[in-house]
Structure 1
Amino acid sequence: MSIPVAQEIENLLRAAFAPTQLDVINDSAKHHGHSGDDGSGESHFTVMIESAAFAGVSRLQRQRMVNAALGDIPGHRVHAMAIRASAPGE
């Protein structure tokens, strides 16, 4: 049995970044019937992550780091993902 995508996202990000804060929010219900809604209830997410790994790293590079940690989830298994990545104290 597979785990929910939100839990999988959380597990991968915790392992990759040891975040001081992490919220994985399932926004799929807001997009019901819109483009990219596959009916799974797991098509749109917001990730808010704070980690020392992002210190001194540009916003674009942070997004790339998060996407790399998530493998095939963004753009393949999930239609849309908003990423808000920060370093502690930002």
Structure 2
Amino acid sequence: MKSPLPLLAPLALALLVAACSKVTAENYAKIKAGMAYTEVTAILGNPASCSDFAGFKACRWGDDKSNVTVRFVGDQVVLHSADNIK
């Protein structure tokens, strides 16, 4: 009989990562226009993805179900939005 540990390990890791998420309503409320990218990453951690185009940067934290998107111009927050954060 095989041990169930190999099957449970990925599930436990996923739960641990989800529990440690910095994508919360409390942290989202800390994001303000004019903040630097480094200030935002200090609050939310490293983004899941970013795109750059002609001095504009859009970064996203979280996943398809719950996320925060922050748009930067010249390394400063100009817009931010959130979907389904708690």
More relative contact order in 1 or in 2 (CA 8 Å, sep 6+)?
A: 1
Q: TM-score when scaled to structure 1?
A: 0.28
More strand by share: 2
Which structure's CA Rg is the greater one?
A: 2
Q: TM-score when scaled to structure 2?
A: 0.29
